[in-house]
Amino acid sequence: MSMVAYLSRVISDHRVRDIAQHFQRSTMAMSQGIIKFENRFRQDKHLREIIEKLKEGLIKKGKRKYFITIACPHISPSVESSFPS
């Protein structure tokens, strides 16, 4: 969740409060998660490379919406169809 929140904050113009509301988390919990992720991001070169590639791909594709099945393999395809387009 922290990685998605971090990418949301970095790529979009959304505030932490808005991101927390979207994921139904408290602003404080979301902020702390992002800070922990940023610290790990700074220390882990491999993680930095992966996140940079994800970020470039998301920015390059514009405002398209994605359903990330790798991060949520337990979610069935029928749940995916319930997300708004």
DSSP state of 83: S
- What is the tens place of the pLDDT at every residue in 15-60? 999 999 998 999 999 999 999 999 999 999 999 999 999 888 888 7
To the nearest whole percent, how much of the chain has pLDDT over 70?
Answer: 71
What string of DSSP letters covers 5-67? HHHHHHHSS--HHHHHHHTT--HHHHHHHHHHHHHHHHH-HHHHHHHHHHHHHHHHTTT----
Is it the case that residue 83 has pLDDT exceeding 50? no
